[in-house]
């Protein structure tokens, strides 16, 4: 895809500027989780068990947790990491509930969270065809978002949507 800026009647190409570090993507998204994903930012770099979650958010509309993971390249598996983080969340509910309670400065109970609505969002400049196909079931709690930055200070976030009508049976 080419992007142009219209200057009267002339089109000037807008160059894509790659992100140098995964942390650059993370910083940009964390500051803007509300406007980008309609989520409340809770914590960055949360360690639970032997894992470190890039960004923990909360979806107030669904009363559920959302874990956001950032990738600079596309040589990784989103399915194994997604399921690992989902089991981490569901097997350590009290740890996550404590972090949420501290963030909102009020005591929350297990039933205050709809654990079945929890999901994982992956944000990367690109995903390969295997990654896109791996989340191609309509009920998987994983989302793939491609992020691009351009020389005119434009950021494009594009969600890869499942084209499958198949439901994964649990």
> Which residues constitute the domain of residue 156?
14-160
Contact 61, 114 (CB under 8 A): no
What φ, ψ does residue 47 adopt, rounded to 5°? -100, 125
Residue 54 lies in a domain: yes
Does residue 79 sit within a domain? Answer: yes
Cα separation values, 99 from 42, 95, 145, Å: 8, 6, 26
**Residue 39 contacts residue 51 (beta carbons within 8 Å):** no
pTM for this prediction:
0.89
- Distance between CA 96 and CA 25 in Å, rounded? 24
pLDDT digits (tens, 9 = 90+) for 12-71: 889 999 999 999 999 999 999 999 999 999 999 999 989 999 999 999 999 999 999 998
pLDDT tens-digit readout, 128-153: 888 888 777 777 889 999 999 999 88
Q: Does residue 3 lie within any of the structural domains?
A: no
Does 169 map to a domain?
no
Number of domains in the chain: 1
Examine residue 71 and state whether it is found in any structural domain, yes or no.
yes
Does residue 75 belong to any structural domain of this protein? yes
User: What is the CATH classification number for the domain harbouring 73?
Assistant: 3.40.1350.10
């Amino acid at each position: 895809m080419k992007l142009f800026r219209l200057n009267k009647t002339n089109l000037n190409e807008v160059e894509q500027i790659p992100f140098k570090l995964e942390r650059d993507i993370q910083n940009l998204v964390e500051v803007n989780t509300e406007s980008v994903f309609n989520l409340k930012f809770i914590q960055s770099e949360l360690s639970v068990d032997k894992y470190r979650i890039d960004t923990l958010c909360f979806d107030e509309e669904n009363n559920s947790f959302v874990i956001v993971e950032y990738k600079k390249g596309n040589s990784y598996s989103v399915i194994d990491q997604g399921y690992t983080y989902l089991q981490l969340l569901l097997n350590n509910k009290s740890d996550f509930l404590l972090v949420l309670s501290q963030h909102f400065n009020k005591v929350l109970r297990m039933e205050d969270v709809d654990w079945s609505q929890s999901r994982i969002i992956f944000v990367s400049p690109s995903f390969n065809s295997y990654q896109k196909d791996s989340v191609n079931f309509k009920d998987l709690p994983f989302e793939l978002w491609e992020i691009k930055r351009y020389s005119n200070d434009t950021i494009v976030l594009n969600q890869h949507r499942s084209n499958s009508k198949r439901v994964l049976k649990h």
